[in-house]
Structure 1
Amino acid sequence: MTKEVRTPVFLLYAVFAALVIGTRFMIVASYGNITPYWDQWDAIIDRLLRPWIDGTLQWQELIAPHNEHRVFTGRVLSLSLFLLNGRVLNPMLEIAVNALLYAGTLLLLLHILLKMIPEERTRMATVIFATLLFSVPLAVENILMNNSSLYFILLFSFLFLYAISRRGSGGGLWDLLVVVSGLLACLSFASGALTLAAGVGFLGLQWMLGVQRNRNTIIMILVLAVMTGVAVHFTPSIPGHAPYKSRSILDFAFALFKMTGGVVFYIPSLVFMFRQLQRKPKADDPTWFLFALCVWLFGQMSVIAYGRGNGQVLSSRYLDLYAVGILANLAAFLVNMRDPVLKWSIKPLSAWVMVLFIGIGIFLSSIARDLSETGARGVESESRVRTYLATHDESVLNEKNARIPYPDPKRLKSLLDQKAVQSLLPSDLVEADGSRAGKRHTTFARIIFFAGSILVGIASGLCCYLLFIQGDPHLLSARSITSTGNVTD
């Protein structure tokens, strides 16, 4: 009898975190830039940091809308990093911290999903799949821009969905977490309203199925419905975004078709949701979280298909969300494999995974192009901003086809002319001598790259340990260890 070697789950999590963070750190160090970009000039520099320096910042500004979003959590993070960094805005520091936030959020999701996967080898395979999926820099825009609000909406949405799926186990703390995480989701991104709406739909379905048909469920449905209505009411409508919207039902359907990989990638979740409604498991069954996650994903994608249906649904900024959808569908596939009615086998799963990674492989060329283009744009933007601050020559910003970090050169000039704004920019950007500052790899970038390399090395070593020692001792030796500790051939 061969002794079974169990894999400590923290090692799986360590591999995931080290590789995801490590690859992002290396990308940030190689292609990131110290120059603030687009929304940072208005939302962060002009409306948050400059008033803080002047002593005129009002607390209402923290929850004021930026476009259609209320990015309270992102503003708090930016202000905190600004103060911790000696009152200097360093976009590279922020996107490095975003890598930590991203990995932590995904670890939370992975931990919850693994609760419904009892088989150890399947759990290991799931973590390996997730590690490969999220190590690929699909969303270049999110990696290299300060888009922490996107990660906050994911974090608080996952907490919300987990709490609402655990209400059936009893305890008022779950209800409190539902309300607090739902509120913070709304204060992170406009789509937080859809998180609340997903909660209403989820509890409504459970009530109709008789899974949670009680007074507390009705109260929570009403509370979330009111919160959803308030969130939608206070979400601004931006007239300039109208051209991006779907113009017809056909546009909307085609956008959804593209987002779901021709529906192929979402077949597992659709089948799982149908079977979940048929099976009606108890309220404390862990598969209810997956069901709530699927409801949330379809809601998010539907709004993107409507709001950006005119050719922008595959924009880089949305790809992190789609990657979450892929992981959810893998989990749904694994749940379906244990369903005695479906009797799904490993063969269709293997084919599904193969098609998925072939698609990602085809997409890699555009990822490389986006990274190169973003890096080159950052270098030119940095050079032009530094040159203007040294010479105050407007032609540097107004030159035709010039790549500057803000769409309006006049607005950018007005900001750069302010002493308060200059005082909060990195010294490498405002110093007149660009010989040192113009180097692509600053000291901070080198540190980040080194840290990323170390993390990737740690992840590689742990992978070898798990595969060769924990996974199957026979790979190291033709002999096995018996249950009594004796070595046999």
Structure 2
Amino acid sequence: MKIKSCLAALFLILSVGWVYKVNFLDKPVNAYAPPALVGEVQASGRIEAQVITDGARAARFVWPGGTEFKPFEIPLSVGTEPLLSIRLDPLPDRTGTVRLKNVQFRSSSGKLTPIAASGWDSLNPRSVPQVEGDTLVISRLGAEDYPALLLKTPGPLDTAVDGFPRVTESGVWLLWVLCGVCVLGLLAVLLKVLWSARTEERWLLGGCFLLLLGLRWLTIFHFGFSSPFWDYWQFPWTVYFPFEDGTLSWKSLFAPVNEHRIFFTRVFSLFSFRMNGQWDNAYEAALNSFFFALSCFGLILALWRAAGKRHAALIGGLTVVFCALPFSWENTVWANQSQFYFFAGFSFLAFWLMGLSRPFSARWWLGCAVAFWAMFTVGSGMMAVATVVGLSIYRLLRDPRGWRSVAPTLLAGLAIAALNYPFMVQQHNYGMLTKSVQQFLATFGKTMSWPFVSQIWFWPLLWLPLGGLVISAFISRRKPDRLELWIVALGGWCLLNAVGMGLYRGGFSGGPASRYMDITSLAALCNALALLWLYRNVGQASSLSKQPRWLSYIENKPCTRWFTAGWAALMIYGVMAITLHELSVPAAQRIACQHRAIRNTLQFQQKPELTSLIDKKAEELPYPDPLALISYLRSDRVRAILPTSVRPPLPLKIETQTGFVSPGVYPALQIDLIEPSWGSYGREGDRTVGRLRARIAQTPAYPWLVFPVLNRLGRGFETRLSVTDEVSGKKSLVKGLVEPDILWNPLTVKCPGKANLVIEAEDYDPVAWFSFNAPREKSTVSVWSDRILAYSLWPVWGGLICIAWGVSISRKNQLRRI
């Protein structure tokens, strides 16, 4: 045991030392100079201009006046993320004329990339620069002629942001292997605990895990999407491409995003991308859900053991209700929200390993490491160790004589909090930041009142069970049991997070958004468990000779039963109401907006004009900054990894075409055709027959093709769509629709080869027609991910069957005892 403890302590010391080395002690080892624009300029006079990088960082400089061209150099401001967009305002304050030539982008490594005179877009249609040979002429005659230019050279031009030690292939694989070993170790512990249960309890607990996983996957299947959304657009630019270019530094993995340091989200996203090869939101969201289901399953087992290995059905059912229903759909369907799952999982581990283990044991040292690393999940990561400190104080107050077993944990928690403090991000979003006591009280009250998030003062009633537990426990003077400590830890953690949201998310005095409900819902679980604890412990004699009269109401079983029934009915109504509201309003609206965003993205790729994205509302775009989105979509590297839903279709070269026309769709359907399609609805309507042969003019990047197909293909009709490899002669037939559909359906087929692929569409049915779009590539991992999500009802039914089987076994055992 001593060897294990020493190794665990060494792991803590090395991990903390490595984090401090990377963030504070490392010196630049690679040559790095801020990127710049260089070239020659001739201005009508001495003119002050400005350059704006990434839509946020503005810098002023001066054009030298004169009649001759003079060299210039404009340093470009770079933050913690690689340079994305460059906007040049050559005449912001006065009229005049500026001529530019030989303009080049100089990267941090000194590499020069020429920028043609036509390599700029005008953001103001009233001021369009003129191209004279290799010279760009910008003029301003009045206030309305304000020239604003956006560099349209596809990026990323430079993926480096500093000169600190780089993340190497071997280094990141070592990190992934270490994380994998930790996960396998936790799985082994969970399986050992599960195997120690009785047969009926194994079925019950296993069914709960299947429900936790299946309900999350079912939400992704119905409300998810493969296209990137909001902050997820930044990951290729800030993580994937820098890693591939060898410019990703370890320090940049710890760099803050708003108030958060999402180290584990970045590392996990890089791992999932490298395993897939394609950037797929739905696939990564499914992995996130598996991790969170595993975390919640571990919580179920810990609570079950703390309850003396009793009440498996009740504890598991409560956890499924408060941790699997889709009221927190944002975290479920957005891949970049894994930080909330890491925060919850690390917090559970910190409570168990550090807060409830014997000091200086191997588990305790590992718990200290987990509490420290929780800081790099979300901005409120320190709440994990703060909760452990609060739990230690509670244990001291409950049992002062046991201070020797609590004091080391308290001191270690304070030390870890001190180690975490330098990593707190002091800069916050001003719009969300609370600005008054009224805003704090409103946000705090609505957060605490979950699931009644529109009520401010409902929370005292909902938190009454936890208050009753604490009061009853202190007055009874019994030694705290493990279930009591788990309940207090969860309650304190939820309370601290509610205070944090009241302080830093109260700018609009609103209730918690869906993405915060994976945390707020645990408060309801905590209070439900408090009712279980009260029901188990009421009526036990107090050590006091006289006790307050009001305590008799808590110690009265009939009163406890009536209150439990009323509280449970209220909570069931609230959970159902907020689940239905989140799915029917915010989630449905998000899906509708996402469809418009996908349409606008595809339209821009078909016709890359600024107006197709700049004139759109924020909710109609997949990323809130249209200029940044334009830079993303212009990048060849980004387009090469895009998921199928927003990926440019493969170019086709029509070789033979009889009967099939473009678009070939029944006109009354009024389908919005964003891209070309070919169908067999021709001059004779659905009686048209014919054949089309087209060659794919580009080698597919992935081994699967996805064809959007409309109406009647296969399944009883003389219509076929296939892909043939001309070299080998191998043919892959696109499986038809289960039944005719007037909506575009993506049908997947395996490429029969890597090149020389030919598409053949045939319609020899006089009463049927179908139409298809050019195919898009898809990776094997994404294909299997979609297939698994399509069967997400299976684990749900499997979980219900397992629970029913466990209940039946338990019932039979009870009858045998009788």
Query: TM-score, normalized by length of structure 1?
Result: 0.87
Larger Rg: 2
The 1:213–1:453 alpha-carbon spacing in structure 2 relative to 1, beyond 3 Å, is same
CA shift digits 1:132-161 (9 cap, x unpaired): 333320112111112101000000001001
Change in CA separation of 1:441 and 1:316 when aligned onto 2, cut-off 3 Å:
farther
Q: Which moved more, 1:313-322 or 1:76-85?
A: 313-322
Q: 1:335 to 1:61 in 2, by over 3 A?
A: same
In structure 1, what is the equivalent of residue 471 of structure 2?
Answer: 274
AA at the equivalent of 1:426: P
1:28 pairs, out of 199, 220, 238, with 220
- 1:53-452 equivalence runs, <5 A: 53-86=244-277, 88-118=278-308, 120=310, 122-146=311-335, 147-167=337-357, 169=358, 171-208=360-397, 209-210=399-400, 212-214=402-404, 217-239=406-428, 241-261=429-449, 262-263=458-459, 264-279=461-476, 282=479, 285-309=482-506, 310-339=508-537, 340=539, 342-344=555-557, 345-363=560-578, 364-401=580-617, 403-432=620-649, 436=706, 444=783, 446-452=786-792
Alpha-carbon spacing, 1:50–1:389, altered in 2? closer, same or farther (3 Å): farther
Specify every segment of 5 or more residues in structure 1 that has no aligned partner in the other structure, as ranges: 475-479, 485-489
> Closer, same or farther in 2 for the Cα pair 1:134/1:289, shift >3 Å?
closer
CA distance in 1 between partners of 2:305 and 2:561 (Å): 20
Larger mean CA deviation between 388-397 and 61-70 belongs to 388-397
**1:7 Cα offset (Å):** 5.6
Question: Take 2:199 and 2:475, find their aligned partners in 1: how far apart are those partners?
Answer: 34
Change (3 A) 1:41 1:437: farther
User: Is contact 1:165-1:289 (8 Å) kept?
Assistant: no
Cα distance in 2 for partners of 1:437, 1:68 equals 42
> CA, structure 1 residues 195+481, in 2 after alignment: closer, same or farther (shift >3 Å)?
closer
Provide closer, same or farther for how the CA distance between residues 481 and 176 of structure 1 changes in structure 2, counting only shifts above 3 A. Answer: closer
The answer on whether the counterparts of 1:153 and 1:192 sit within 8 Å (CA) in structure 2 is yes
- Contact kept, 8 Å, 1:29 with 1:441, in 2: the verdict is no
CA distance in 1, matches of 2:480, 2:255: 38
Q: Which range moves more in the overlay, 381-390 or 67-76? A: 381-390
Say whether the 8 Å CA contact 2:391–2:485 is kept in structure 1. no
- Alignment-derived partner of residue 477 in structure 1: none
Deviation (angstroms), 1:314:
2.2
Q: Tell me what 2:713 maps to.
A: none
Distance of aligned partners of 1:173 and 1:138 in 2 relative to their CA distance in 1, 3 Å threshold: same
Contact 1:245 1:306 in 2 (8 A): yes
Decide whether the 8 Å contact of 2:448 with 2:495 is kept in 1: no
Distance 1:419 1:244, change over 3 A: same
Letter in 2 for 1:206: R
Q: CA 1:164/1:442 → structure 2, altered by over 3 Å: closer, same or farther?
A: farther
Cα 1:370–1:227 shift into 2, 3 Å: same
- Deviations 1:102-159 (Å, cap 9, x if unpaired)? 2111111111112233484x43133223323333201121111121010000000010
2 CA distance for matches of 1:461 and 1:82? 35
Query: Which string of whole-angstrom CA distances, capped at 9 and with x for unpartnered residues, describes residues 298-317 of structure 1?
Result: 11111112212232332111
Question: Residues 338-364 of structure 1: CA distance to partner in whole angstroms, max 9, x if unpaired?
Answer: 223524433321211110111122221
**Matched residue SS, 2:326:** coil
Q: Give the CA RMSD over aligned residues.
A: 2.7
Contact (CA 8 Å) 1:190, 1:235: kept in 2 or not?
A: yes
Q: In the alignment, residue 359 of structure 1 is paired with which amino acid?
A: G
- Identify which range, 247-256 or 346-355, moves more after superposition: 247-256
Of 276-285 and 133-142, the range deviating more from structure 2: 276-285
| Structure of higher RCO (CA pairs closer than 8 Å, 6+ residues apart) | 1
Amino acid at match of 1:81: S
Write the distance in 2 (CA, Å) between the matches of 1:75 and 1:275: 45
Q: Residues 16 and 127 of structure 1 are in contact (CA less than 8 Å); yes or no, is this contact kept in structure 2?
A: yes
Q: CA deviation at 1:280?
A: 5.5
Q: What is the Cα deviation at residue 234 of structure 1?
A: 2.4
Which structure shows the bigger proportion of residues in helix conformation?
1
Q: Separation in 2 of the partners of 1:40 and 1:119?
A: 42
Distance in 2, Cα, partners of 1:442 & 1:99: 26
Per-residue deviation, 1:162: 1.2
Q: Counterpart in 1 of 2:29?
A: none
Q: Which residue of 2 aligns with 1:487?
A: none
In proportion to residue count, which structure has more strand? Answer: 2
Q: In the alignment, which residue of structure 2 is the partner of 1:49?
A: 240
Matched, 1:470 2:817: no
* In structure 2, C-alpha distance between the alignment counterparts of 1:473 and 1:483, rounded to whole Å: 9
Deviations along 1:269-327, one digit per CA (max 9) or x if unpaired, are: 12212333445555774422222222222111111122122323321111111211111
Report how far residue 440 of structure 1 moved: 6.5
What is the CA deviation profile of residues 397-428 of structure 1, one whole-angstrom value per residue up to 9, with x for unaligned ones? 11232611111100111122222222332255
Displacement of 1:437: 6.4
Letter in 2 for 1:100: F
Q: Does 1:40 align with 2:380?
A: no
Please give the alpha-carbon distance, in whole angstroms, between the structure 1 residues aligned to 2:372 and 2:639.
Answer: 35
Q: Does 338-347 or 31-40 show the bigger shift?
A: 338-347
**Closer/same/farther in 2, CA of residues 50 and 280 from structure 1, 3 Å limit:** farther
Retained in 1: the 8 A contact 2:600–2:613?
Answer: yes
Tell me if the contact between 2:212 and 2:323 (Cα under 8 Å) persists in the aligned partners: yes
Q: Cα gap change, 1:175/1:135 in structure 2, threshold over 3 Å: closer, same or farther?
A: closer
Is 2:395–2:406's contact at 8 Å kept on the other side of the alignment? no
Contact 2:440 2:509 in 1 (8 A): no
Range that drifts further, 436-445 or 144-153: 436-445
Give the residue type in structure 2 aligned to 1:326.
Answer: A
Contact 1:21 1:455 in 2 (8 A): yes
Going from structure 1 to structure 2, the CA distance change for 1:56 and 1:401 (only over 3 Å counts) comes to: same
Q: 1:221 to 1:291 in 2, by over 3 A?
A: same
TM-score (norm 2): 0.54
Distance 1:483 1:60, change over 3 A: closer
Amino acid at match of 2:298: L
* Aligned 8 A contact 2:200 2:809 in 1: no
Secondary structure of the structure 1 residue equivalent to 2:624: coil
Asked whether the equivalents of residues 191 and 300 of structure 1 are also in contact (C-alpha less than 8 Å), the reply is: yes
- Conserved 8 A contact 1:390-1:430: no
1:452 deviation in Å?
0.5
Distance change (3 Å), C-alpha of 1:280 and 1:108: farther
Relative distance call for 1:441 and 1:265 in structure 2 (3 A) is farther
| Structure 2: gaps spanning 5 or more residues | 1-196, 450-457, 541-554, 651-674, 678-705, 709-743, 749-782
Decide which of 794, 806, 810 is 1:454's aligned counterpart: 794
Structure 1 pair 321/272, CA: closer, same or farther in 2 (3 Å)?
A: same
